[in-house]
Structure formats: C-alpha cells, structure tokens
C-alpha cells in the first residue's frame, strides 16, 4: 500500500516522527505499518557514509526492502536520510510500478540544531563531525514542484505531526499512473510467428493474383486492411527490383 518517505538532515527528528506516524496509523486504521531504515540493517553510519560504494549498497538494500514490503494492505515508512533527489526519483518509479500513492515527510531543521542533537546522543549513536558536515553539504532539499517530492509535508522541530493531511494524501489520492518504463511488457503469443507468416502469405497471394488481371492505377484490396493499395506502386516496385537485380 502507500509509502511514506522520510527526509532530512542527520539528527533532524526523522525516526521520532516515523514512530509517531506508525502509532497514529495503527491506532486509527487496521493496517500494518512497517518501518524500513538504517537501524534495521545494522548500518554503522560513520563507516557507510564515509564510503560512497558502501552507501550506494545500503541505499539499494533499503530500496529492495521497501519493494518487498509494498503490498495492497500495509503502510511502509522509509526512515533514512533520503537526501539524494535521484534516489527519491527511483522510489517514485517504484511506487508507480506498484501503483500505490506515496508522500514525502521533510523534517526541516538548521544544521546548528541538528548538530546539537547529534552531540546529545550517546557516543555510539553519534555521527562524527566530519561525516555530519559532509552529509549536510551533500543534502538536496525536496521541492514540491517535482512530482517525486510531492505531496510534500515540511515539519519544523516544534510542529505537530500533520497526521490528517498525510492520511488524506495516502488514502484519498489515486496512485500515479504507470508508464512504459515501469510496466512489465506482455509476452508475445506463442503462435505469433505462425500468425505473422500466415498473414504475410495471404497478402502476397492477393498481390500475385491481382497482377494477373490488374493494370497500373487499379486499387487492390489487401486481406486484413481497410485501405486498398495502388497497383501502380506494386508495378513500379517490381520494375525497379528487376532493374536492380
């Protein structure tokens, strides 16, 4: 069912808001709520975010876990930085393929506030200042004008969680229509080649028979087609082929 994508600086309150959302949905609906995040993967943040390849692998694992949990009944909350707009676009393509709504919850804080919250954590849970500063510098803020960042709910540190608005965005909106790139293409019929060969033979037979009685300018019916073709075109094409070979 719907996907909620959390977004924000490190230590901006994303996990707290994700837990609040989980409680609200479980209290007001009969749906299961799954939180997918770095913690469930046992990510050592300072190691991962210092290595671009490791970070890429973590993002891929999070995306795969979201894809596994998306279904017609449950709510999935992705609790991670989600600071790269290209990654948020990949998630948007994922929900289009699953044909389910989504929304983005942006926990907006200043880097000073987030840095203070980071230093107030237990030492094992803190980002190093170097990693923290690098993530803040790389952060690509969401923009509601982008379809993959919309609908967007921006929450300041003292704001009340807009549960009703988020609920409406998930349950009173239609899922974005799938496009060709997110839909599985139907397999060809097992008899496709046979049918193609039969139609081709019928068309050729009709043309060969018409050549016996038609003159340039006549219109010849083609099996399976609503329009007729000019015998002049066939005559000139045959003449050209004879000259060529």
Question: Which pLDDT score, from 0 to 100, does residue 176 have?
Answer: 85
Main-chain dihedrals φ then ψ at residue 135, nearest 5 degrees: -65, -40
Question: Which pLDDT score, from 0 to 100, does residue 64 have?
Answer: 95
Strands (E) in 39-121, as ranges, are: 75-79, 102-107
Residue 206 has pLDDT above 90, yes or no: no
Q: CA 108, CA 239: separation in Å to the nearest integer? A: 75
- H or E stretch including 58? helix 52-69
- H or E stretch including 4? strand 3-8
**Total length of the chain:** 245
Question: Which pLDDT score, from 0 to 100, does residue 179 have?
Answer: 65
How much is the average pLDDT of 26-44? 91
Q: CA 115, CA 120: separation in Å to the nearest integer? A: 9
Q: CA 23, CA 187: separation in Å to the nearest integer? A: 43
Q: Which residue has the higher pLDDT, 185 or 211?
A: 211
Q: CA 30, CA 34: separation in Å to the nearest integer? A: 13
The 3-state DSSP class for residue 229 equals strand
Question: Which pLDDT score, from 0 to 100, does residue 241 have?
Answer: 45
Question: Which pLDDT score, from 0 to 100, does residue 234 have?
Answer: 55
- H or E stretch including 24? helix 14-28
Question: Which pLDDT score, from 0 to 100, does residue 186 have?
Answer: 54
The 3-state DSSP class for residue 22 equals helix
Q: Which residue has the higher pLDDT, 220 or 52?
A: 52
Q: Given pLDDT bands bounded at 50, 70 and 90, which one contains residue 204?
A: confident
Q: CA 157, CA 9: separation in Å to the nearest integer? A: 12
Q: Which residue has the higher pLDDT, 223 or 78?
A: 78
Domains in the chain, CATH or no CATH each = 3-178 (3.40.50.300), 191-231 (no CATH)
Residue 7 has pLDDT above 80, yes or no: yes
Residue 25 has pLDDT above 80, yes or no: yes
Q: How far is CA 175 from the centre of its chain?
A: 12
Q: CA 109, CA 157: separation in Å to the nearest integer? A: 7
- Angle subtended by helix axes 52-69 and 85-98, to nearest 10: 20
Residue 38 · residue 45 · CB < 8 Å: yes
How much is the average pLDDT of 102-115? 97
Q: CA 96, CA 100: separation in Å to the nearest integer? A: 7
Calculate what percentage of the chain has a pLDDT beyond 90: 64
Residue 111 has pLDDT above 90, yes or no: yes
Question: Which pLDDT score, from 0 to 100, does residue 238 have?
Answer: 56
How much is the average pLDDT of 217-241? 66
pTM score of the predicted model:
0.73
Which residue matches tokens 């045959």?
238
Q: Which residues contact 38 (CB under 8 A, 6 or more apart)?
A: 45, 48, 58, 62, 79, 80
């Amino acid at each position: 069912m719907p996907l909620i994508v959390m977004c924000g600086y490190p230590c901006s309150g994303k996990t707290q808001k994700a837990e609040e959302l989980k409680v609200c949905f479980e209290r007001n609906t009969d749906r299961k709520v799954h939180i997918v995040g770095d913690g469930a993967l046992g990510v050592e943040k300072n190691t991962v975010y210092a290595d671009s390849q490791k970070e890429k692998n973590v993002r891929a694992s999070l995306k795969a876990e979201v894809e596994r949990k998306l279904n017609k009944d449950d709510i999935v909350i992705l609790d991670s930085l989600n600071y790269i707009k290209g990654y948020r676009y990949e998630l948007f393509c994922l929900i289009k393929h699953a044909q389910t709504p989504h929304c983005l919850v942006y926990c907006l804080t200043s880097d000073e506030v987030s840095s203070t919250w980071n230093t107030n954590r237990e030492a094992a849970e803190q980002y190093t200042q170097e990693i923290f500063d690098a993530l803040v510098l790389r952060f690509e803020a969401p923009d509601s004008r982008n379809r993959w960042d919309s609908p967007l709910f921006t929450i300041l540190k003292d704001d009340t969680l807009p549960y009703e608005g988020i609920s409406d965005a998930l349950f009173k909106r239609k899922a974005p229509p799938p496009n060709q790139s997110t839909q599985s293409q139907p397999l060809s019929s097992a008899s496709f080649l046979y049918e193609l060969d039969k139609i081709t033979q019928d068309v050729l037979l009709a043309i060969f028979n018409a050549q016996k009685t038609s003159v340039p300018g006549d219109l010849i019916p083609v099996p399976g087609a609503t329009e007729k073709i000019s015998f002049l075109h066939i005559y000139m094409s045959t003449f050209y082929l004879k000259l060529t070979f």
